[in-house]
């Protein structure tokens, strides 16, 4: 059923407003603002991410449920990268005419399954019309001062650690783009990524600077280096690759390490930690923070970094 037949924007808001609410949420979806009574830690985290159909997801490759999963996981990942917990979410959507109520129900089910898993409550949003689907999710999180992880907290001598395997999301996208059948497990890295919020308790006692891998390892390490006023060296062979992507790369004539370094959307965490705690490292050590500036891969200075939504166009 299309949204006009369903009763339009108001019917949609009414459906969303019917969800159960926590008792500290005084007003949720359906008033001018969401109103919440604050509790917990004194530091608030705010993050927003916009996903555009065609650039970040496709209604051809993704089920509506998976679009919801990816939209919410990628946002929760930013809260995890700051060392915090996601508490509230606001979802604003631009929807094209051919979106159905069934599509939206599945999309919301995906978002809500992820939000519920992480203890995050969707308290508000906005819906409007556009030529293609645009999703903007704002998350409000909380973090204690002791757990706060900023990009600027790295120091020379720190180890650089990734929480898991990389490159799967880019490999999956390449399979879709080349119209290749099969390889369902590699494609899932692209359509249904999961962030590392659940591993945070293991990482927080170790991590100094931290980022999530949304734009590729090279770009995230550069961000840490620039914010901390340091450099980094990465060992290419130590970068852990997602299962199956060596085969995918061979099939497509690609280098699988390019997926890991420049592909992004893997949503693993990359963090720096003191070498004194090396034996406790959670994940895989891929390099080291050095004095100076620049990111070096096997001794060669990187000039190219992750995906840029404007630089790689035109």
Residues numbered 249-288 forming contacts with a copy of itself, rule: CB under 8 A: none
Q: Identify which of residues 1 and 291 has a Cβ nearer to a copy of itself in the complex.
A: 1
Query: Residues 18, 20, 32, 179: which binds a copy of itself (CB under 8 A)?
Result: 32
Tell me: does residue 58 bind a copy of itself (CB under 8 A): no
Query: Residues 70, 85, 147, 151: which binds a copy of itself (CB under 8 A)?
Result: 151
Tell me: does residue 230 bind a copy of itself (CB under 8 A): no
Query: Residues 45, 115, 171, 260: which binds a copy of itself (CB under 8 A)?
Result: 45
Q: Is the dihedral of CA 295, 152, 312, 192 positive or negative?
A: positive
Q: Which two tokens stand for residue 89?
A: 């979410």
Contacts of 257 (CB under 8 A, 6+ apart): 167, 236, 239, 241
How many CB atoms sit inside 10 A of residue 311's CB? 8
Only segment of 1-9, 168-176, 245-253, 291-299 that touches a copy of itself (CB under 8 A)? 1-9
Count of residues near a copy of itself by CB under 8 A:
76
Number of Cα atoms under 13 Å in the Cβ half of residue 190: 24
CB of 29 to a copy of itself, least distance (A): 11
Binding positions for a copy of itself, 66-125, rule CB under 8 A: 78-79, 81-82, 84, 88, 90-95, 97, 123-125
Only segment of 59-67, 106-114, 145-153, 195-203 that touches a copy of itself (CB under 8 A)? 145-153
Element (H, E) at 90: strand 85-95
- In angstroms, the CA 231 to CA 296 distance is 8
Instruction: Give strand pairing partners of 154.
Output: none
Only segment of 6-14, 60-68, 197-205, 296-304 that touches a copy of itself (CB under 8 A)? 6-14
List the one residue out of 165, 16, 160, 137 whose CA is nearest residue 68: 137
Question: Which SS3 state, helix, strand or coil, does residue 142 take?
Answer: strand
Tell how strand 300-301 and strand 269-273 pair up.
unpaired
Q: Is the dihedral of CA 100, 103, 107, 108 positive or negative?
A: positive
Tell me: does residue 12 bind a copy of itself (CB under 8 A): yes
Q: Identify which of residues 96 and 205 has a Cβ nearer to a copy of itself in the complex.
A: 96
Tell me: does residue 1 bind a copy of itself (CB under 8 A): no
Q: Identify which of residues 19 and 35 has a Cβ nearer to a copy of itself in the complex.
A: 35
Q: Which two tokens stand for residue 283?
A: 């994940």
Tell me: does residue 200 bind a copy of itself (CB under 8 A): no
């Amino acid at each position: 059923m299309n949204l006009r037949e369903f009763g339009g924007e108001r019917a949609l808001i009414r459906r969303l407003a019917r969800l159960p609410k926590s008792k500290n949420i005084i007003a949720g979806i359906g008033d001018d603002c969401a109103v919440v009574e604050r509790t917990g830690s004194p530091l608030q985290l705010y993050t927003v991410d916009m996903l555009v159909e065609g650039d970040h997801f496709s209604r051809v490759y993704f089920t509506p449920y998976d679009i919801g999963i990816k939209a919410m996981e990628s946002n929760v990942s930013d809260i995890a990268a700051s060392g915090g917990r996601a508490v509230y979410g606001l979802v604003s959507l631009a929807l094209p005419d051919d979106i159905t109520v069934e599509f939206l129900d599945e999309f919301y089910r995906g978002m809500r399954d992820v939000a519920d898993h992480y203890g995050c409550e969707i308290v508000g949003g906005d819906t409007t019309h556009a030529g293609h689907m645009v999703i903007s999710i704002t998350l409000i999180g909380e973090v204690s001062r002791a757990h706060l992880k900023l990009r600027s907290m790295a120091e020379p001598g720190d180890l650089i650690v990734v929480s898991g395997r990389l490159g799967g999301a880019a490999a999956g996208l390449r399979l879709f783009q080349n119209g290749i059948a099969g390889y369902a497990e590699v494609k899932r890295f692209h359509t249904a990524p999961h962030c590392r919020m659940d591993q945070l308790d293991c990482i927080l006692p170790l991590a100094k600077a931290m980022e999530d891998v949304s734009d590729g390892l090279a770009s995230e390490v550069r961000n840490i280096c620039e914010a901390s006023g340091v450099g980094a060296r990465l060992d290419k062979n130590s970068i852990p690759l997602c299962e199956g992507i060596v085969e995918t790369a061979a099939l497509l004539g690609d280098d699988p390490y390019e997926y890991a370094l420049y592909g992004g959307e893997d949503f693993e965490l990359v963090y720096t930690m003191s070498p004194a705690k090396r034996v406790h490292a959670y994940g895989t050590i891929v390099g080291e923070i050095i004095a100076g500036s620049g990111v070096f891969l096997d001794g060669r200075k990187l000039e190219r970094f992750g995906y840029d939504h404007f630089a790689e166009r035109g």
